[in-house]
Structure 1
Amino acid sequence: MLTSEQVRAARMLVRWEQRDLAEQSKVSLPTIKRLESKPGTISAYETTLAAIRAALEAAGVEFIPENGGGAGVRLRKEAP
């Protein structure tokens, strides 16, 4: 499960515009804009969510699940 807030925050961590996420995930720019515009859990096809998540994870983002403190994102620690 992804929220629009997580996707926007993840994009900011890797310094991507919506267009960059669209290109990397192969999801259309209008779809990215629509999904990010509505607060809360993203309602989309599972393949669309998987593509967005995979693109952001490949760029170094880790998605943090809800654990009482709220779902979030962070950059993956690089191996030494």
Structure 2
Amino acid sequence: MASNDTFGIDELTSGQMRAARALLQWDQKTLAEQSKVSLATIKRLEPQAGPIRANRVTIDALRRAFESAGIQFIPENGGGVGVRLSRRSDYS
């Protein structure tokens, strides 16, 4: 089971994408390389408001790239969705 499933998250928002990139100090090109999602697609998705509108394969590829780098996705639980960076010992 993917770690996002444990939190019940099945969507990825553009805000989460930008925040995760900021925490990792990744530019869009790095995210494209790490996720194998085209740079053009990332540039199209990030300006969207709310949950990104993309096919499941693309969303899963982005999520895997972020999670393998230590990003944890935080669900909407009254406080809003978010992301956090795990301590390196948690995923290295």
Fold shared per TM-score above 0.5: yes
CA distance in 2, matches of 1:79, 1:18: 26
Give structure 1 stretches of 5+ with no counterpart: none
Amino acid at match of 1:72: G
Say whether 1:33 aligns with 2:40. Answer: no
Identity %: 60
1:53 to 60, 63, 66: 63
Aligned to 1:38, what secondary structure does the other structure show?
A: coil
Structure 2 residue runs of 5 or longer lacking an equivalent are 1-10
Letter in 2 for 1:74: R
**Residue 76 in 1 paired to residue 86 in 2?**
yes
Q: TM-score, normalised by structure 1?
A: 0.95
**Deviating runs (4+, > 4 A) in structure 1?**
none
State the Cα distance separating 1:77 from its structure 2 match: 2.5
Counterparts of 1:49 and 1:78, CA distance in 2: 24
- Residue of structure 2 equivalent to 1:21: 31
Cα deviation per residue 1:25-64 (whole Å; 9 max; x = unaligned)? Answer: 0000000010001111101000100000000111110000
